[in-house]
Amino acid sequence: MSELTAVMLKMLKAKDKRERLEAEHRFIETLMFSDFNEIVAMLDKALADDWIGVPVWARNLAFRFACLLEPKNAEIRRRAAADLRCFGPDWDEKADRLDREADELERVTEKKSSARRRQKSDFVP
């Protein structure tokens, strides 16, 4: 288990306001210096174990960092968009933007793949 996942679990299990505040600060600090795979693993664990227990702000921040760390990753944008839609219409515009970005990333990726396939088929030794 990564440090980020452990810190997140501790945050969720905090017993009082003071402990929760300290755990939230530690979570933010650890999240800031985590890599993409650690963030995704933490989100997978947190959302599988206690989907509604993870504060919306923590989810949004984690997804935001993941999107920034992997700017060409359409899948994480789609996951972030789906998560935002779970919390009401206030987030729908942001979710729509993330889905549009994911669509564009997939179009660009497909275009590049098609161009590479054509180049390979055009190559005659």
Q: What is the pLDDT of residues 28-83, one digit of tens each?
A: 999 999 999 999 999 999 889 888 889 999 999 999 999 999 999 999 999 999 99
What is the reported pLDDT for 115? Answer: 66
What is the reported pLDDT for 121? Answer: 61
C-alpha dist (Å) from residue 25 to 22, 41, 46: 5, 20, 17
Q: Cβ atoms within 10 A of the Cβ of 90, count?
A: 8
pTM comes to 0.85
DSSP tally for the chain: helices H, then strands E: 6, 0
**Residue spans per domain, the chain:** 1-70, 72-125
Cα gap 24→92, rounded to integer Å = 26
Cα gap 104→21, rounded to integer Å = 39
Q: How confident is the model at residue 107 (pLDDT cuts 50, 70, 90)?
A: very high
Cα gap 69→20, rounded to integer Å = 27
Scanning 13-91, the segments in alpha helix (DSSP H) are 17-32, 36-49, 56-69, 74-85
